[in-house]
Amino acid sequence: MFDINEAVARMISEVKKIVKNDWKDISGEVTDILQRRKERLALLTDLYIKGELTEKRFLSRLENEKLIFEAEMHAIAVMKKAVAQKAANAVIKVLRDMAKAVIR
């Protein structure tokens, strides 16, 4: 019997293996993404198991799901980069402003 919760847990485990050291930073986002997609993935799998989707159509739909997941992972990376850039900008602004205050 197919268990979507077990499937999601395994997916999370696989992502964790791939991202290794970055897992702490993105674990929440990855888990949220997979939890949001869980119902859709369960439906696709159920339709395939019941024979209501051909293997070709199932694989095509899974490819779409993969692209969605990949796009969401890119969004996480961009978000992390944006936060890092903001932090770096803030650090430099403090230094610049303090240096200017001394010169005045």
Q: What is the pLDDT of residues 45-99, one digit of tens each?
A: 999 999 999 999 999 999 999 999 999 988 888 877 877 678 788 888 888 889 8
- Enter the pTM of the model: 0.77
pLDDT > 80? residue 16: yes
More confident residue, 31 or 93: 31
Report yes or no on 91 lying in a domain.
no
Q: Which of 76, 75, 7 is nearest to 41 (CA)?
A: 7
Query: Is the separation of the CB atoms in 65 and 44 below 8 Å?
Result: yes
Residue 71 lies in domain: 4-75
Contact 49, 23 (CB under 8 A): no
Q: What is the DSSP letter of 52?
A: S
Residue 103 belongs to a domain = no
Local confidence band at 7 (pLDDT 50, 70, 90 cut-offs) = very high
Does residue 50 form part of some domain? yes
